[in-house]
Amino acid sequence: LGVLAGGIAHDFNNLLVSIVGNADLALLLATAGSPLQKALLKIKLAGGRASELTQQLLAYSGKTEVRIEAIDLNALVTELTNLLEISVSDYVSLDMMLSVDLPVVRGDLAQITQVLMNLITNAAEAIGEHPGSITIATGTVVLNSEERTQRRPSWDVSEGLYVFIDVFDTGSGMEASTREQIFEPFFTTKSTGRGLGLAAVAGIIRSHQGAIEVDSEPDVGTAFRVLLPAAPGPSSEEAKTETANPDAEVLLEGAILVVDDEEEVLSVLSDMLETFGLEVETAGDGVEAVDIFGGSSDSFTAVILDMAMPRMGGAETLKALRAIRPDIPVVICTAYNEDPSFAAAGPSAFLQKPFKLATLMSKLEEVLSNRMNESK
């Protein structure tokens, strides 16, 4: 079953590259605020939800790895709220109460995003087509020994400073018996299944050394609180100031060699890159890529390379390309999560399918910037 789940996730992610990528390209042509733009944003949102489902399949198959980074929860909440605003009922208002100078947390961005998406969409569904509101708040709280042992004995967390995210809704609420079961695997109050739901949410929070609790009353509403350990260092506002660099932009030019055995992926990647004025050469597998690259290696600025291909896999292809030109930047592009074996192949960067247009271009800028710095 694990192999089956991993294979399905791999193929599904390849399809999502075309769906999300073409939606991104169409958004470049859509008028701001138009019905077309709203429809395209909904396609992207659905693509994101589908991507989350493949992440659960990859986790089940054992092909996932937590990628820890500093996360600005205020920025994440703002981004998700703006995105979800177009998909919730017109009767539902989405409000934010964000704490100033919120400390960053360290965690897996995709997983924390999944947690917030789940809680916010559940809140919207609890309200349904009735007038109501969802409020997302952030702040900090200090957990001491008394808080842990007396008030929250079930929380397996350490003492210290925590960042919290509260999601309140004025929906239908829950009975006590329902509240006791909502974090159990496959438990749902909905007529259709939604995967692991809140059980997956609780698992993610536990893996981040955090905690989650719920308070709810029938016909009043529900409040979820997620706590994550605050990371030592600057607040999210200070981190923005420190990392801002207006001179960091890298000029993208030249030809990119794109290597993938999926025609849909080659097509959308070519369209994305050509939108930014880049020339594109494509290869359907590693053997073809090495033939093309060997004939004109100096003409290529970078290579975007799939890992799972027939005839010659990504790792072997990367080795052959570097044998021809050791300094060529190579971005590994795969439907699987990042794996230590990928790093062993020595790529310049890693790009997981499906990806946004902005993510693709940012990754290319990153590897080209690194190459420029190394050549100085």
What is the per-residue DSSP string for 170-197?
-S----HHHHTTTTSTT--SSSS-BTBH
pLDDT tens by residue, 321-352 = 999 999 999 998 877 655 555 566 678 888 88
pLDDT reported for residue 137: 96
β-strands 92-97, 68-71 pairing: unpaired
What is the C-alpha separation between 339 and 341, in angstroms, rounded?
Answer: 5
Does residue 203 sit in the same domain as residue 263?
no
pLDDT (average), residues 181-205: 64
Averaged pLDDT, 282-307? 92
Tokens 């799972």, residue located: 308
Confidence tier at 240 by pLDDT (50, 70, 90)? very low
Same domain, 116 and 228: yes
Is the pLDDT reported for residue 234 higher than 80? no
Do 234 and 259 sit in the same domain of this protein? no
Instruction: Note the pLDDT of residue 320.
Output: 94
Residues spanned by the domain of 263: 255-375
Shared domain check, 131 and 166: yes
Point out the domain boundary residue: 214, 243, 272: 243
Clarify whether residues 236 and 174 are in a common domain.
Answer: yes
Structural contact between residues 171 and 224, judged by C-beta atoms closer than 8 angstroms: no
- Same domain? For 237 and 260 the reply is no
Among the candidates 243, 272, 290, a domain finishes at 243
What pLDDT score was predicted for residue 202?
80
Per mean pLDDT, which range of 69-83, 88-102, 155-169, 222-236 is the poorest? Answer: 222-236
User: Is 33 inside any structural domain?
Assistant: no
Question: For 186-211, b where at least 16 C-beta lie within 10 A, e where not — what string?
Answer: eeeeeeeeeebbbbbbbbbbeebbbb
Q: Give yes or no: residues 87 and 226 share one domain.
A: yes
Across residues 170-195, what is the average pLDDT?
Answer: 70
How many domains would you assign to the chain?
2
For 356, the enclosing helix (H) or strand (E) is none
Contact partners, residue 176, CB within 8 Å, separation at least 6: none
Going by pLDDT thresholds of 50, 70 and 90, the confidence category of residue 233 is low
pLDDT digits (tens, 9 = 90+) for 45-70: 888 777 777 766 665 444 555 677 89
Query: Is residue 297 located within the same domain as residue 346?
Result: yes
Q: Are residues 193 and 280 both part of a single domain?
A: no
266 and 237, same structural domain?
Answer: no
Q: Which of 300 and 192 is assigned the larger pLDDT?
A: 300
The string of pLDDT tens digits covering residues 89-130 is: 788 888 999 999 899 999 888 889 888 988 998 898 888 888
Task: Verify that 328 and 225 share a domain, yes or no.
Answer: no
Q: Answer yes or no: do 212 and 108 share one domain.
A: yes
pLDDT at 283 over 70: yes
| pLDDT range class, residue 258, cuts 50, 70, 90 | very high
What is the CATH classification number for the domain harbouring 159? 3.30.565.10
Whether 178 is covered by a domain: the verdict is yes
346 located within any domain: yes
CATH code for the domain of 284: 3.40.50.2300
Answer yes or no: is 18 within a domain: no
Q: Does residue 284 fall inside a structural domain? A: yes
Percent of the chain that is helix, strand, coil (3-state, to 5): 45, 25, 30
Q: Is 174's pLDDT higher than 50?
A: yes
Q: Is residue 56 part of a domain?
A: no
